[in-house]
Amino acid sequence: MCSYPNFTTPIDFNGPKKVTDKSKETYWPQLASHIDNDAVEFKDLALNCSMCLEDITVFPHEHVEDNNEETHQGVILPCGHIFGASCISKSAQASIDTDTMIRCPTCRGAFVHPKCDHFFFGLLMPSNKSDMGLIPPTLNNGGVLADYCYQCGVKKTLEDLNEELHKILTEESRGRFVVSLTKGGETFPQPWMEDCQEARAPATFRSFVARYDRRLDKYEGSTKLWITRCHAGTAVRIRDLGPQAQ
């Protein structure tokens, strides 16, 4: 649920595609039902993007990057409609350029994170049956959009942790010691903090972080939550910016 999975390509590609109306379905709840009921196999999918009328790619070996390093692999929006990833990006950019709301081209649904108002770009469509459970139910069927986008979620976590740290520190040292987060090779809020000396966290702060992480993990682990990347499990460190930062 917490990040794009490493989808695998089914081994059996023998024989021609069995293209039917069901294998062309671009509404995820209906398509998932067809696949669950063995009416359609992933290898037979022939999905067409209604935005560009080109094929939506399904399997990793089919995804080809364009000049913007984007592919046309299937993306599922929280309403359940499926489009090519590059088309979603182009549509979103066009809306940003014209200062209009980004919406699903089919149902006109608008999907913004409720606490930061940034657009949610959808989840990559799985390419095998075992990964289908990673897609939450649609919003009209109990699904929930994450409160924050990834970047704003990181910012909120930093604010919460720094606020707690400052309760422990003396007033003189609050500018010198700050919290950094590291995950997937990225350090927030600034990459250069990775080179700053690490300070030992007080026991009370470590306990707070453990409780905070458990709450976050429970929230982000919900099977109903539309979220692209999780913050739970991120390395939390206290950085010493030096006496000049005081």
Query: Can you give the pTM of this predicted structure?
Result: 0.86
List where CATH 3.30.40 sits in the chain.
Answer: 22-140
Whole-angstrom distance, CA of residue 1 vs CA of residue 17: 30
Q: What are the backbone angles phi and psi of residue 7, rounded to the nearest 5°?
A: -65, 145
When comparing pLDDT for 51 and 95, which is higher? 51
Q: Mean pLDDT check: name the lowest of 11-20, 59-68, 143-152.
A: 11-20
Residues 6 or more apart whose CB falls under 8 angstroms from that of 230 comprise 1, 2, 3, 216, 217, 220, 221
Give per-residue pLDDT as tens, 23-52. 999 999 999 999 999 999 999 999 999 999
Confidence band (pLDDT; 50, 70, 90) for 175?
Answer: confident
For 99-123, what is the mean pLDDT? 92
Count Cα atoms within 13 angstroms, Cβ side, for 169: 21
CATH no. for 22-140: 3.30.40
Give per-residue pLDDT as tens, 63-80. 999 888 899 999 999 999
Whole-angstrom distance, CA of residue 70 vs CA of residue 30: 27
Residue 201: the pLDDT is: 92
Q: What is the CA radius of gyration of the chain?
A: 22
